């Protein structure tokens, strides 16, 4: 019993169970055909599409990287442009302020000059006016004096005054005239 079991064990361990049945040629052919069929089917239905999508993804990633690189360059270009524009604007503003300041200075000078000349002119005309008024006044006084003289003369004649009185009268009138003036 024990010997039989041992014999069975060894026989089944020697090159599998094929040892006493010959070579399974059918299995060999079947395995070969099945493997090749499996490989072709998988290539068509599984690995092919999978490889396709992986290639597609690789391309997608590559193109995305390119796009990112391009947009980064674009952004850099725009940034430089903006920076230049800003600098230009700043310079322009600076020059505008400078111009305005100069303009202001010039205008101030002008205003001052005109004001001064205006003042001068006004002063001149005032002087002229004064002079004219003075002339007028002198003329008027002269007329007045003449008139008074005539008046005094007539009064003297009327009263028939002494020489002393006459002198006094004239002096009085002259004084009067001086006070009037």
* Residue 1 in the binding site for other proteins (CB under 8 A): no
Among 16, 157, 158, 164, binds other proteins (CB under 8 A): 16
Closer by beta carbon to other proteins, 61 or else 78: 61
168-to-149, 171, 181 alpha-carbon distances in Å: 14, 5, 20
Q: How far is the CB of 65 from other proteins (least distance, A)?
A: 15
List, in order, residues 6 or more apart from 31 with CB less than 8 Å away.
Answer: none
Q: How far, in Å, CA of 151 to CA of 158, rounded? A: 10
Asked if 152 contacts 169 with a C-beta cutoff of 8 angstroms, the reply is yes
What is the token pair recorded at 75? 């952004």
Among 6, 30, 115, 171, binds other proteins (CB under 8 A): 30
According to DSSP, residue 162 is labeled -
Cα dihedral 56/58/64/65 (nearest 10): -160
Q: How far is the CB of 19 from other proteins (least distance, A)?
A: 10
* Residue 128 in the binding site for other proteins (CB under 8 A): no
Closer by beta carbon to other proteins, 19 or else 93: 19
* Residue 12 in the binding site for other proteins (CB under 8 A): yes
CA 2 to chain centre: 108
Q: How far is the CB of 85 from other proteins (least distance, A)?
A: 40
What is the token pair recorded at 14? 């020697």
Q: Taking CB under 8 A as the criterion, which residues in 44-83 touch other proteins?
A: 45-47, 49-54, 56-57, 60
Among 1, 2, 15, 160, binds other proteins (CB under 8 A): 15
Q: How far, in Å, CA of 71 to CA of 69, rounded? A: 6
Binding site for other proteins (CB under 8 A): 8-9, 11-13, 15-18, 21-32, 34-35, 37-39, 41-43, 45-47, 49-54, 56-57, 60
């Amino acid at each position: 019993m024990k010997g039989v079991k041992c014999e069975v064990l060894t026989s089944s361990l020697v090159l599998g169970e094929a040892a006493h049945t010959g070579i399974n040629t059918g299995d060999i052919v079947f395995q070969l055909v099945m493997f090749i069929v499996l490989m072709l089917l998988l290539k068509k239905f599984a690995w092919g599409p999978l490889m396709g999508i992986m290639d597609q993804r690789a391309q997608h990633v590559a193109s995305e990287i390119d796009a990112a690189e391009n947009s980064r360059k674009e952004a850099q270009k725009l940034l430089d442009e903006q920076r230049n524009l800003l600098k230009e604007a700043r310079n322009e503003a600076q020059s505008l302020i400078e111009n305005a300041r100069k303009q202001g200075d010039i205008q101030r000078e002008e205003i001052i000059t005109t004001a001064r000349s205006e003042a001068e002119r006004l002063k001149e005309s005032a002087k002229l006016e004064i002079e004219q008024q003075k002339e007028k006044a002198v003329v008027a006084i002269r007329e007045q004096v003449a008139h008074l003289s005539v008046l005094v003369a007539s009064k003297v004649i009327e009263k028939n005054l002494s020489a002393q009185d006459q002198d006094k009268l004239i002096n009085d009138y002259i004084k009067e005239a001086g006070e009037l003036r």
